[in-house]
Every structure is written in C-alpha cells, then in structure tokens.
Structure 1
C-alpha cells in the first residue's frame, strides 16, 4: 500500500479501480454522496481495463446490452468536453464480416432490433465492406454489418478522466491498497478489511472484474465470474493505412483489428485457451492468429509486430453482466462479469449503480442481469461476443 492514510469510515466502499469503479465513484460523488472511497490493489485501470482493445459499440443481440452500449457511446462522444480529458475517440464504426449463412440471418435480426432501439446499424454487401476496410480479403464472405456510430478510444485516458472528476467531486481513490475481506454480521456489512487497515462501512460495491468471485465469497454472494486470458498485438506502421479504417471483426474466427497510431491493434480469441489468472503472453497462440491473418488480411503478411500484451475477460455462463443488489446481505451491489465488454459499458453502468445505491429507478430495467438468474433454467445468452 502507498503511504496514503485510509479513512476510518466511509458510507460506501468500491472494490476495483477499473472503468467500472472510477465511473461509479464519479457518479456517486457527483450526485452528492460524500466520502466515497475506492480501493484497488494495483494502479487505477491496471486490471482488465487498460488491457482492453478500446472498442466501443452498441452492436449486440440483447436489448439490454444494446441500450447500455448506446448510452455509453453518448458519453464517449462528449467525454473530452465534459471531463476536460482527451480520450482519442475515433468514431470510425464497427464492421462485422460474415461468412456463415446462419450468422447472416442472426445479424439481420440483430440489426433490426438495433434499429428499433435507435442504433443506425445496417447490413451491407461484400463490396462495400471491402471499400470500408481495404485491408481485408473478401474470400468466403457473404455479407457484413456496419454501424458508423461505433468506434474506439483509449482506456487509460477514460480512467484518468473519471478518476480526476471523482476526486474533484470529493471521492477518495486509493490505488495499491488490496482489499482482503469484508466483515458481515447479522446480514449487514460492517467493515472492509485491507492491507492498510480497516474501513468501517455499511455498503460495498464490487467492481473487481475478473477477481469478483472472491469478493462475492466474502459476503456469501455467488458471482459466477471466470477469468479467461485474451491477447493483443500492436503492429509496426502499416504503409498507406486508411485513417478511417473501422474496427473490423471477422465474426467466424473473432479476429479483429483497428488503427493504433501508424499501425494496427489486433487480436483474436483462442479456442484452446483455458480459464485462469494467466497474464503472460502465450507463444502457442501466435501461429493460430497468424494463419487467420494470412487468410483475412493477407496485406499484413509482411508487417512486423511491435508489442503486445495479455489481459483477462471476466466471463459469465451466458456472456451477460452481473449487475444488481444482493438479496442475502444488505447493501452489497455488484457490477461485473461483462465478458470482455465492460469498458464500453462503463459510463452507463456508473449511472445505474449510482441509482441502485440511492434507491432510485435506473434508466433501464436491469432485473435480467441479477446474479440469482443462474438458479433458474432459462438464460438468454449474448450472441455478439468476440
């Protein structure tokens, strides 16, 4: 822990300093909640947030996720003005490349739903997909889905913007302070234990991402979040790279890329990956992504790799978030399990958690994201996960 003195007490303690935590801290403090405390065992954003690809979109298959994505896009678009923090928001669109007839039918349904909810997605033909993303090979493609209002930005800058605004509004953010337990008596939260001391509190908000299952266990709440390694590469400069290249995803393989400076950021899920807190880069993955790159973006065959890293998805059984208030212990609120899409939903979720804490009605019904849903037999999986 740093040399910073912890407060003896706080009305609410947030566990986790990624996009979710800092967004929640800001929205609570801005709403007038005094003495909000946020704790993170590392630097702010050093968990999954700053390992993310930075994509922001509203192209999902579930109405809740579409709405969360769209609401957050509105914030990203105005973030620099609202928070006096540049986040390098590039509204170049998201382009999903489709090579399977069933996927085309699914995306046609999704696009209709997105349009009903105000997202200007459209199905396009292969020729237009090639025009939008010139680096791709169209071999095997049948169609594509495109939304011009999606894009990408810099996660570290978003975290800094929210953290600065939260502190200005009176919140206390303490990095390098690990939470080690939560005291519960008679069904009520009494205190949070840390490696720097004890904070008396009656409310805890879990925004611990891939580490949330342990936090939930401290209060007897099952948060079925599983860590899964995902890897990202950054290329050397790409000659003639179109600055308006959209965030392009080959849906069948999950291979994706977007512009990053003069080069590209690219990644792909690994079908052979196993769960666990693995943050090292795996050499076994490189030949697999290389094979897909050679097929879908042969123009990149001779481009060198400059750097890369590994991060963690916080997956749930149905690829939907866990968002709500615990039913078995008072004032334990959770916002986790976003299955790789927490960064893009962080602004909207901050608003929702603020309202849950203040006993207000959120702008959207989140009942379907309650962690207790897994006790039943009916799930509604999010299909547009890469």
Structure 2
C-alpha cells in the first residue's frame, strides 16, 4: 500500500484510468488511482460502447471527435484490441423539429471536421435494413462513429498507466479527504491514508458524495438504464450502424452474432439500483413495433442494468474547484462519458499541469448552475 502520491484519482472507470494514463505518460510521478471494486465495475462496463461525434454542443463534438481519433490509435499505442467497429451512427428522425435540429447540428459538425450528413429514409433503410421507414422523414449519419468494448479500453489505459509508473489500487475505497485550511493533505481509504495535495474526482454516479466531503457540489444524479441482448440474427450485415430512433430513444447495434438493444425508461426514478426488471419491456416493444418490428421476433438471451450519471442540463462537469485548492473533477457525462474518455483524460492532464487544453472546457464547470448558465446537450441517447 502506497502512503504518498502527487495526485490521487478516485474512480477506476474509463475517466479515471484515462486521466491516470495521460498523467503518467506526461511524466507526472507518483500517480495513484483508487477504485473500491474492480476496474470498470461501475457504469463503464454497463455502457453500450457507442463512440460518436454527432452532438449538438460544440464542445461535445470536439471531445467526441478527439476521442474517435484516440480510439483509432488505441491498439497501436496500448497493445489492447478494443473491438472498434467504425460502422457509423444513424439517428432516425420522425418530426420536422428533429430534422431542423439535426440539420443545424450537421452544419456545426461539418464546420468542425465531422463528416456527418442528412440522408433520406431510403438510404437509412439501406444502411440499417432492420428498420421500417413508415413515418420517417430523414436520418443523420456519420461514418466515423461506431462502437467498441468499454472494459478493454479501461484495461488498456490501466496497463499503460502502470507501465509509466502509476499505481492502481483495486478494492481500495476512498473514505474521505483530509484538509488543512484550503489545502488537501490526504485521501483516507479502506486500506490506509495516502498523503497528497491533489485529488481528481472521476467517481461517476458517486461523484456528488465524494465532492461533498470537501464542500464541493457536483450535481450528479444516478439513473438506472437497462440493456438487452438478443439471440443470433441470421444475415446480420457486418456494417450495421448504431441505429437510434430519436423520438423514442430505442437503439441497437451488433453484439457478437446478435444485437444489443436499449432505450430510456421515462418511468425510472433516480437512485443507485442496478438490478434488472421487466417493467420497461412493454415500452421497448412498442418502440420496436413502431420503428424496427423485425426486432420483436428476437429472443432475449441476456441483459444488464447500469447507471447514467446525469446533470441538470445533461452535460458533463469538467474543471477545477475554486476551493479547496487542487480538487479537479470529470464526471456527470449523462450517458456520453465512455465515448469522451480519451479526450477528457487529455484535458484533465492539461488542467493539472497548468497547460491550455485543446478545447476550452470552462463552460462545463460545475459553477455554471449557480451562475444560471446551463449548457444543454440535445443529442441524447
């Protein structure tokens, strides 16, 4: 057990391991990451694995595009195969309002170098033949998007961080943060005390509780989301994109020989429950009947539940608290955290080192809510 660190990262999901890796590769000595369970055991391992740059917010477009570049280099840089499938994201649009919003989004994405475009229903069906085009007005598609394996990304980052001198402590719960005045002096854990002057909170859905120990409010609210996996689908095209019916939030992509299927549940209430239930299935089947009736014939063979870490405007919290000194955070990604992990690790590294990040994340500071300056993201899945 180490007893001293230059920086302690709390959380062993994609954000924590990416941050630890980027710090260690930059030559920061004595980087320590603490995770109360196994790596990727929280929200990361329960994610659908989608990676994209199709967002409505300029910052999210930039973070997503930067991360897509990193995912493309990941195996070369870490030696870990993350099962990256660059099959695209296809958003199905059924109302004039959705079409208008995505038209504006595509213009902004194109201006930032993202090759997204609007398509007609016929092309949408060619790309994703399991859908029906009844009532479909248009779709938005970007071939650079896709999906990969979240756990592989976490373990790749963790292994690379270790190779560069970082210490990863599993089954080591952060139980408190000690202060002397406005200065952090240590992190207390279930395995002992680690003296440090810097803490980076990447604790996902549990971030609010971590930050509260030093008087910082990170407005993160956990919400259960469920995923189902189907039996093998004969003739499933290998290029099937991540397909999202934007009106209902129904989505699916290939998962081995079958499909991974998910949807938001408007009846779900905030909390830390991660057990599965079937109360969402009737709404799921209704959405399938409307947009992808072929899915109704598929037998469910498994599934799981995980937590979204939602903020009031469904956008991330990234920054450094004004007090206490050297308390940084990257959390509250509201469903699009995994796909931004590489870029956010880079940004937090630069904030720690006093460098100017490749993108100005000050609008994502947790202080924006007190300043009545929310920054809502519209392209939510």
Q: What is residue 216 of structure 2 aligned with on the other side?
A: 221
Q: Is 1:286 matched with 2:286?
A: no
Deviations 1:5-29 (A, max 9, x none): x211111100000000000010000
Are residues 1:73 and 2:68 paired?
yes
2:168 pairs with 1:173: yes
Distance, in Å, in 1 between the alignment partners of 2:349 and 2:375 is: 26
Which of 178, 185, 209 is the matching residue for 2:180?
185
Give the drift of 1:186.
0.7
Match of 2:245 among 250, 268, 274: 250
Name stretches of at least 5 consecutive residues in structure 2 with no aligned partner.
Answer: none
Question: 2 CA distance for matches of 1:317 and 1:309?
Answer: 25
The 5 Å alignment of 1:135-174 reads: 135-174=130-169
Q: What SS does structure 2 have at the residue aligned with 1:264?
A: strand
CA distance in 2, matches of 1:127, 1:221: 51
Number of the residue aligned with 2:265: 270
Is 1:202 the equivalent of 2:191?
Answer: no
Check if 1:10 corresponds to 2:11: no
Residues 314-359 of structure 1 show CA distances to partners (whole Å, capped at 9, x for unaligned) of 0000111000000011000000000011100000000011111111
Provide the C-alpha distance between the structure 2 equivalents of 1:255 and 1:138, rounded to a whole number of angstroms.
15
**How many residues are treated as equivalent by the alignment?**
381
State the TM-score, normalizing by the size of structure 1: 0.98
Runs ≥4 in structure 1, deviation > 6 angstroms?
A: none
Return the alpha-carbon distance in structure 2 between the equivalents of residues 376 and 325 of structure 1. Answer: 16
Deviates more, 1:110-119 or 1:278-287: 278-287
SS of residue paired to 1:301: helix
1:1-386 correspondence to structure 2 within 5 Å: 6-386=1-381
1:74 Cα deviation (Å)? 0.1
Residue 378 of structure 1: CA displacement? 2.9
User: How far, CA to CA, are the matches of 1:86 and 1:378 in structure 2?
Assistant: 40
Aligned partners of 1:125 and 1:294: how far apart in 2? 21
User: Within 2, Cα distance between the matches of 1:298 and 1:283?
Assistant: 19
Could you report, residue by residue, the CA deviation over 1:240-283 in whole angstroms, capped at 9, with x for unpaired residues? 11110000000000000000110000100001111000101121
| Alignment partner, residue 3 of structure 1 | none
Q: How well do the aligned residues superpose, as a CA RMSD in angstroms?
A: 0.7
1:380, distance to aligned residue in structure 2 (A): 2.3
Deviations 1:67-118 (A, max 9, x none): 0000000011111111111011000000000001101000000000000000
Question: How far apart, CA to CA, are the structure 1 residues paired with 2:37 and 2:370?
Answer: 33
Structure 1 gaps of 5+ residues are: 1-5
1:146-188 per-position Cα deviation (integer Å, ceiling 9, x unaligned): 0000000000111111111000000000111111110112111
SS at match of 2:297: coil
1:377 Cα deviation after fit: 2.2
Q: Secondary structure of 1:375's match?
A: coil
Q: Distance in 2 between matches of 1:191 and 1:290?
A: 51
* Deviation per residue, 1:193-233 (Å, 9 max, x gap): 11111111100000000000001101110000000110001
Equivalent-residue separation in structure 2 for 1:243 and 1:360 (angstroms): 42
Q: Is the 8 A contact 2:364 2:375 kept in 1?
A: no
CA distance in 1 between partners of 2:224 and 2:342 (Å): 24
